[in-house]
A and B are shown apart, each in its own frame.
Chain A
Amino acid sequence: SYVLIQPPSVSVAPGQTATLTCRADIIRIKRVHWYQHKVGQAPTLVIYDDSDRPSGIPDRFSGSTSADTATLTISRVEAEDEAVYHCHLWDGHSDGKFGGGTRLTVL
């Protein structure tokens, strides 16, 4: 089981908006990061500190938190966005935690 709860899969049509969630009580007090992981590739940081976007990441990607839930929103979804998305935070003294990952399928 995982401390951070992510739905296993989300499907969305091209051009629509994908909403991926990550839930845990600790999110109320911790910063959440999101990674995009395509098959056979290294993961890519797409959102850090809840809502900041690294340079080079399209502004279609945005993040937010509310209460115990962090949300990664991908607007105007494209086929290239198909990947597994992992949420991540630092829990306690020095323990990194990941969600189980959500597979985004672009229909």
Chain B
Amino acid sequence: QVQLVQSGTEVRKPGASVRLSCSTSGYDFMPNYIHWVRQAPGQGLEWMAWIKPNTGGLQYAPQFQDRVALSTDPTIDSVFLQLSRLTLNDTAIYFCARGGDWDWKTPFDYWGQGSLLIVSS
């Protein structure tokens, strides 16, 4: 079955960077878009970015454009999110989610369990 398994809790100080991972299994990793979505405490979901492993195509939400980077490692069917210049407002649960394989404008049919990032001085 399709699974997305994410890395665990991270704690960082303001100004630091963090790298979160999303390991996939149960399907062909390469064609499907993988998206990242976050949820800050008491807030709704916020879409951040997508990557398409087989083309390397990327898209970042404007508010994260200058400090987020997505990458993949096809040898382990994994996607990585790097977020830099962290602020207290980046404290959130970060989810990876699978999209379609033909278009990025699709729903997310499988989600990871979430990675908690705590930014604290």
Contacts and interface: CB of A to CB of B under 8 A. Distances in A.
Q: How large is the interface on B (under 10, 10 to 19, 20 to 34, 35 or more residues)?
A: 20 to 34
Query: Do most interface residues of chain A lie in helix, strand or loop, or is the interface mixed?
Result: strand
Contact of A101 (B45, B62, B106, B108): B45
Q: How large is the interface on A (under 10, 10 to 19, 20 to 34, 35 or more residues)?
A: 20 to 34
A98 B109 contact: no
Interface of B: 4, 35, 37, 43-47, 50, 59, 61-62, 95, 97, 104-114
25 contacts: A2-B44, A33-B107, A42-B4, A42-B110, A42-B114, A43-B95, A43-B97, A45-B109, A48-B106, A49-B107, A54-B109, A86-B44, A88-B107, A88-B108, A90-B105, A94-B50, A94-B59, A94-B104, A95-B61, A96-B37, A97-B47, A98-B37, A98-B44, A98-B45, A98-B46
